[in-house]
């Protein structure tokens, strides 16, 4: 039997992946923060070993690792899924208390590293796998998510380095990048936290931003969860299982419509174009409000200051490809090659982004 270790199993993706692994005949060490979750998980499968785990507490992490080592012995541990994470208090950088940054870093980054280090000798022994759960927030700065984005960018960076560290040991590292999955419980207090954050702002911040900005952003947050969210919460756990058990797993799993397509397309563009698209009011879509004291031409002024780039060329190639693939016009291979060469020359002249 292969044994795996999953953190954050109280609810959401972690809870589901434990069931999937158990159903497939694997043994699972299920790290749970809440004591009441232990008995619930234990009753769900004979090969599930619930462990009390606080990823921010070194003693707790060490005790869980000791229990795992005593059970797997010389066989080692086939894999770990660093799923435990929190998302709290959305809001602009200027609104966010420093404690919010510290709290998310402790759980989402330091906790992930602590858990990984605690079982890394066991994983090296089994030439196993490490699966780190990042996010679309680790690929692009999302409005109102400075602390969460910072923590998930860190997950991406650590995973890149760890992947190279582990190559000589025969250990592989994999990243799962979920988009918005509103039914996982991660967003249960998303909007209420935003409104609570507004109440503790000093008077000058409230005056500069204004109630209409707060109310408008509250609506935007709700619209984003509705419009861009993916309903099928099984997709992410299935990606985790594939990363753990597939003979040829991917390094990166982009899960959800927004992660696979929307953020991927935006990431191809120059930063100036990203800002325009993210902040532009799309008919029928979420409308990003402006702060009360913001200058009428502020956005235009700031965008004009940034140097240009090849983003428009990328957008053009994407548009041409879509039109061509739909049969709206046809290009011969020779013309496609010529267009590609001209694009590369333009990029060479413009220089790197």
Nearest in space to 236 (alpha carbons), one of 312, 164, 175, 292: 175
At 242, list the tokens. 């594939």
Write the DSSP assignment of 46-73 as a string of letters.
Answer: TTEEEEE--TT-HHHHHHHHHHHHHHHG
Q: How many structural domains is the chain composed of?
A: 2
Calculate the CA 254 to chain-centre distance: 9
End-of-domain residue from the set 235, 264, 279: 279
Q: What is the model's pLDDT at position 283? A: 54
Q: Are residues 85 and 207 in the same domain?
A: yes
Q: Does the residue 186 lie in any domain? A: yes
Catalytic residues: 148
End-of-domain residue from the set 279, 296, 330: 279
Stretch 224-249: mean pLDDT: 91
Summarised one tens digit per residue, pLDDT across range 147-205 is 999 999 999 999 999 999 999 999 999 999 999 998 777 787 888 999 999 999 999 99
d(CA 329, CA 323): 7
Q: What is the model's pLDDT at position 348? A: 43
Q: What is the model's pLDDT at position 247? A: 96
Q: Are residues 219 and 315 in the same domain?
A: no
The enclosing domain of 89 has a CATH number of 3.40.50.720
Q: Are residues 57 and 205 in the same domain?
A: yes
Where is mean pLDDT largest: 202-216, 272-286, 301-315, 323-337?
202-216
Phi, psi (5° rounding) for residue 131?
-115, 115
Q: Are residues 66 and 110 in the same domain?
A: yes
Write the DSSP assignment of 197-230 as a string of letters.
Answer: HHHTS-HHHHHHH-HHHHHHHHHHHHHHHHHT--
- Under 8 Å between Cβ of 221 and 191: yes
Summarised one tens digit per residue, pLDDT across range 29-86 is 999 999 999 989 988 888 999 999 999 999 999 999 999 999 999 999 999 999 999 9
End-of-domain residue from the set 238, 261, 279: 279
């Amino acid at each position: 039997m292969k044994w795996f270790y999953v953190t954050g199993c109280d609810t959401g993706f972690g809870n589901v992946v434990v069931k999937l692994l158990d159903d497939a005949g694997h043994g699972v060490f299920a790290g749970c923060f809440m004591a009441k979750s232990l008995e619930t998980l234990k009753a769900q499968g004979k090969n599930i070993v619930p462990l009390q785990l606080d990823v921010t507490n070194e003693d707790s992490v060490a005790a869980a690792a000791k229990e795992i080592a005593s059970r797997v012995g010389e066989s080692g541990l086939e894999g770990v899924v660093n799923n435990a994470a929190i998302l709290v208090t959305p809001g602009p950088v200027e609104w966010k208390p420093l404690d919010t940054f510290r709290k998310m870093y402790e759980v989402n980054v330091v906790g992930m590293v602590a858990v990984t280090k605690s079982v890394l000798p066991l994983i090296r022994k089994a030439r196993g796998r490490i699966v780190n759960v990042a996010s679309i927030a680790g690929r692009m700065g999302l409005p109102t998510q400075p602390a969460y984005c910072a923590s998930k960018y860190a997950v991406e960076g650590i995973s890149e380095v760890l992947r190279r560290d582990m190559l000589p040991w025969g250990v592989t590292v994999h990243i799962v990048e979920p988009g918005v999955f509103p039914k996982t419980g991660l967003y249960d207090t998303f909007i209420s936290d935003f409104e609570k954050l507004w109440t503790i702002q000093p008077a000058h911040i409230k005056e500069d931003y204004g109630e209409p900005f707060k109310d408008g952003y509250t609506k935007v947050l709700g619209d984003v969860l509705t419009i861009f969210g993916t309903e099928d919460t099984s997709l992410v756990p299935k990606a985790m299982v594939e990363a753990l058990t597939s003979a040829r797993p991917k390094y990166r799993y982009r899960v959800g419509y927004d992660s696979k397509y929307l953020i991927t397309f935006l990431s191809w563009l120059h930063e100036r174009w990203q800002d325009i698209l993210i902040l532009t009011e799309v008919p029928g879509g979420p409308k990003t409000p402006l702060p009360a004291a913001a200058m009428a031409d502020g956005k235009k002024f700031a965008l004009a200051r940034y140097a240009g780039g090849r983003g428009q060329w990328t957008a053009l190639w994407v548009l041409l490809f879509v039109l061509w693939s739909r049969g709206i016009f046809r290009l011969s291979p020779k013309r496609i090659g010529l267009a590609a060469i001209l694009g590369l020359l333009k990029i060479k002249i413009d220089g790197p982004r």
